[in-house]
Structure 1
Amino acid sequence: MTLATIGTSSTGSTIDGNGTFSPASPATPAELVRRATAMVPALRARTAEVDTLARLPETTIRELDEARIFDLMVPRTHGGLQTSVRTYMEVVTEIGRGDGSAAWACALINICNWMVAALYPQHVTDEIFAAGGKIRTSGVLSPRVAKVRREQGGYLIEEGLWGFNSGVYHAQWDLLGIPLVDETGVAADQGLALIPTEQVTLLHDWDTIGLRGSGSTSVSVKNVFVPDERIAALSAAIEGQYASAHLGGEALYRTAFVPFLAIILVFPAMGIARAALELFLQKLPGRPIQYTWYEKQAEAAVTHLQVGEASAKIDAAQLVIARCVDELDASAARGEYMDVETRARIRRDTGYAGKLIWEAVDILATASGGSLAGSRNPFNRIWRDARIANLHGIVCPTTNLELFGRILCGQVPNTPLV
């Protein structure tokens, strides 16, 4: 199905030429994936506009809203879809086949919506999700600068600077990491401050070679007071001590914090890799191998080896991530919070899957020859998106391999983010 299709889907939802969906069909997992798949052609057609804007066009945001892609992690009690992590993965991966930037924004906005639902008390989330309209949240865990003072009833952020605030251009709320200091200024914990984006200054400094449409600009805050009710302690979240007691019976909001935050960053990359393989095979017929007797690259044994290895790496990454996702869903459904070793292993798997994905895309890029150098070559963009997606600190393979290796060797973790 493409966005050029005008008519009714097999589930009864109406799809027009702009990819707009009517609410006629229930948003089942299969239907949500179909909606994401239907958006792929339009997302691909807008890549030049995305790169010029360095954020997603409002047309794309509207279509994602209409398809309810930003509602995946919002509780049903607030009109959301409250899907499984598996559905989250499958939907974002499909969006990534169309545009890695759109998938990145979808992955980050959805996980931040989940954090709002899980980490804050009911009266806070009631106010946010019941405010009317579509709620989208962005966030950054680690500040570059954060000068904070404890005051009665909350914290005053006197000055703060955060980088890589993906999706903030389209968000009404921002989750910004701050030190939780006592009255003497000594930091006792790290926290997440939930702040309306109207109180956040966007610095418009996102100018990158890849994932440009993620709109991951730096942001600053000056003299903003955040009440205690809108502060979540990271130490509690890491151990699964969530403030959303009213959602305690809902499995999704018992999902292990750090592995969940880590693994969603690979969802867009899986879509990017799928797009890379599709595009390579699409362009393959009739392409020669320069300075050889091969008039058709598709007939060369080296091409068979390259495609075989790249496809194996993509499939292996998919299998590794799917296993982790299913473990997250199953553990939450049982009401069991994952032990440290399992959480660290999922971080390991996240990093290793990201490594496999990048290697696969790079193999196909190398096999594409000199045409890859063209700035308007679609594969050039995919290659750059795949590279940038693999550079996020919590996806870094060496960091994650070392973390899990330390635990296997009987050492303590070298980070609290497990």
Structure 2
Amino acid sequence: MSKHLTLAVAERDAAETFAHGAVEPDTIMERIDALRPWLRSMQMEAERQRRVPQETVERLAETGAYDLAIPPRFGGADFSARDLFRIYEALGRGCGATAWTLWASTGGNMWSAAFADEVVRPVFDAPWTGNRTCAVGGSTRRLSGTARRVDGGWMVKGAWPFATGSVHASHAYLATFYDETDDTKVGMVLLPRDSYELREDWDAMGLAATGSGTIVVAEDLFVPDERFSTPQMLIERLARLKERGFGLRPGGLGRSIMVGTGNALGMAEHALELFVDGIGKKGIAYSPYSRQADAPITHLNVGYATMQIKAARRVAETALDDLDRLHELGEDVTPVETVRLHADAGFIWDTCATAIEALFKASGASGIAKKQPLQLVARNCRAGSMHAVHNIQTCMENYGRQLCGVELAVTSANVLERVG
């Protein structure tokens, strides 16, 4: 078969897969809403297991939500930013750790384009329940592995911590530095599950159920050239995919972190619901109020928390509108807009976490019992706000520097961001 005919067949197959598409977002939403009681009932068991329980994975797979973690050209979801946000919000109202794990698992969608389709397609064509891949970008050598050039490929080894989604994944995208002295020389390898060890060393105060253990390749592992790629190779392949009509929606990591803020809003809504449901059932000790619902301080707490959640939502809606409008115009975000998206996301996560913590504090001493779900929601949301891409202090400093016209120095970034 000629080269041109081979390409034509590949494009036809891709078009047929793409046309098949994923479950509609409204259908996924309805199914997640129906699953919410189960997700809430399993939150504490998930934390105990330090992973999303297998039965939850199986039930979530039936909703079609894992289509979000499949590249569109292989039949995955190609939803608007607002639809993705709504799905993560619905999941966050049920279990924030489950929502986080699904969100993190979409990180490999872009990097799937860095490898030839004949390499990546089998990953997504194989029968599988849950997320098929996980991705670890690694902004420093401490958080990545190394790659050494040999005939026909690379010798890779290292340790990749915080590998969210790795427990249920069949493959992993892992960042590797391939020059001993130059930190700009970073690439990505695609490894099957049987080629690495997964340490169960994830034990955190929040988002404990995400199973974000460390992936380890202790000894040199040969990785053929077709399973190694770089940001430049990704850019070139993305351009070719765009020419064929399979380009990514605009925004890159900025878009990803913005749609993921739906999880923060979902957890905040859950926390407000829990608090309001409880205020008529108990009083406030050492006070004249036999019902917490009658106390002015309760009214103030509910009012402030509600306004904080509304403010966070307004920020999210503006950013989501901008992202979807850029898609309609066929334009991508600028570096300036990316900084703002990070600031928006940092504000949303911090504001939601602060609102939840105020409600938790107002719930009284009985709220510290681990059987009470509000304390778990509070810990999960605050943990999410502390992720590097959401850190309010870093995000606001960078945004403020931009607003003040101060030139931004070179900053660290993981390989998932080194595109464009």
Q: TM-score, normalized by length of structure 2? A: 0.85
Unaligned runs of 5+ in 1: 1-25
State the SS of the aligned residue for 2:322.
helix
Correspondence 1:223 to 2:229: no
Deviation at 1:188, TM superposition (A): 4.1
Q: Which shows bigger deviation, 118-127 or 170-179?
A: 118-127
- Cα deviation per residue 1:14-71 (whole Å; 9 max; x = unaligned)? xxxxxxxxxxxx8322211111111110011112321221111111111111111110
- After superposition, residues 3-22 of structure 1 pair within 5 angstroms as none
1:366-385 map, 5 Å: 366-385=361-380
Identical columns (%): 29
Once residues 48 and 202 of structure 1 are traced to their aligned partners in structure 2, the CA distance between those partners, rounded to angstroms, is: 23
Say whether the 8 Å CA contact 1:71–1:110 is kept in structure 2.
no
Q: Cα RMSD (Å) of the superposition?
A: 2.4
Question: Which residue does the alignment assign to 1:178?
Answer: 176
Cα distance change of structure 1 residues 187 and 397 upon mapping to structure 2, 3 Å threshold: closer
Give the aligned partner of residue 281 of structure 1. 276
* Counterpart selection for 1:28 from 24, 42, 46: 24
Distance 1:335 1:270, change over 3 A: same
- Offset of residue 172 of structure 1: 1.0
CA distance in 2 between counterparts of 1:293 and 1:223 reads: 69
**Matches of 1:372 and 1:350, distance apart in 2:** 28
Q: Does 1:55 align with 2:51?
A: yes
Which region of structure 1 is more displaced relative to structure 2, 131-140 or 51-60?
A: 131-140
Q: Is the 8 A contact 1:251 1:333 kept in 2?
A: no
> 2:390 corresponds to which letter in structure 1?
V
1:87 to 62, 83, 88: 83
Q: Partners in 1 of 2:144 and 2:164 — Cα distance?
A: 18
Give SS of 1:82's match: coil
AA matched with 1:179:
F
Letter in 1 for 2:392: P
Q: CA deviation at 1:264?
A: 4.4
Structure 2 contact 198–215 (Cα < 8 Å) conserved: yes
With over 3 angstroms needed to count, the CA separation of the structure-2 counterparts of 1:203 and 1:76, relative to structure 1, is closer
> Does 2:129 match 1:148?
no
TM-score, scaled to structure 1: 0.85
Q: Deviations over 1:138-172 (max 9, x none)?
A: 11111535232122443321x31111111101111
Q: CA deviation at 1:406?
A: 2.2
Letter in 2 for 1:227: P
**CA–CA distance in 2 between the matches of 1:153 and 1:266?**
42
* AA of the residue aligned to 2:25: P
Distance in 1, Cα, partners of 2:208 & 2:257: 21
Q: Work out whether 1:214 is the aligned partner of 2:210.
A: yes
**TM-aligned CA distance change 1:302 to 1:218, over 3 Å:** same
Match of 2:159 among 158, 161, 165: 161
Alignment of 1:355-374 (within 5 A): 355-374=350-369
Q: Is contact 2:308–2:352 with CA below 8 Å preserved after alignment?
A: yes
248 and 268 in structure 1: CA distance in 2 versus 1, 3 angstrom threshold: farther
Q: 1:77 to 1:69 in 2, by over 3 A?
A: same
Give the 3 Å change call, closer, same or farther, for CA 188–289 of structure 1 in structure 2.
closer
Q: Measure, in 2, the Cα distance between the counterparts of 1:295 and 1:67.
A: 44
- Are 2:333 and 1:338 aligned? yes
Does residue 307 of structure 1 match 2:302? yes
2:79 match: secondary structure: coil
Deviations along 1:277-309, one digit per CA (max 9) or x if unpaired, are 111111111321221111222122221111111
Give the C-alpha shift of residue 186 in structure 1: 4.5
Task: Indicate the residue corresponding to 1:203 in structure 2.
Answer: 199
Distance in 1 between residues matched to 2:212 and 2:232, nearest whole Å: 26
Q: Post-superposition shift, 1:227?
A: 3.3
Amino acid at match of 1:224: L
Which ranges in structure 2 are unaligned for 5 or more consecutive residues? 1-21
Correspondence list, 1:108-127, <5 A: 108-112=104-108, 114-127=109-122
User: For 2:178, what is the secondary structure of its paired residue?
Assistant: strand
Q: 2-side partners of 1:57 and 1:177: how far apart? A: 27
Residue 270 of structure 1 aligns with which residue?
265
Aligned counterpart, 1:291: 286
SS at match of 1:98: coil
Give aligned pairs, total: 387
1:193 to 149, 165, 189: 189
SS at match of 2:106: helix
SS of alignment partner, residue 370 of structure 2: coil
SS state at 1:398 partner: helix
5 Å matches for 1:225-264? 225-234=222-231, 243=238, 245-248=240-243, 250=245, 253-264=248-259
SS in 1 for 2:248: helix
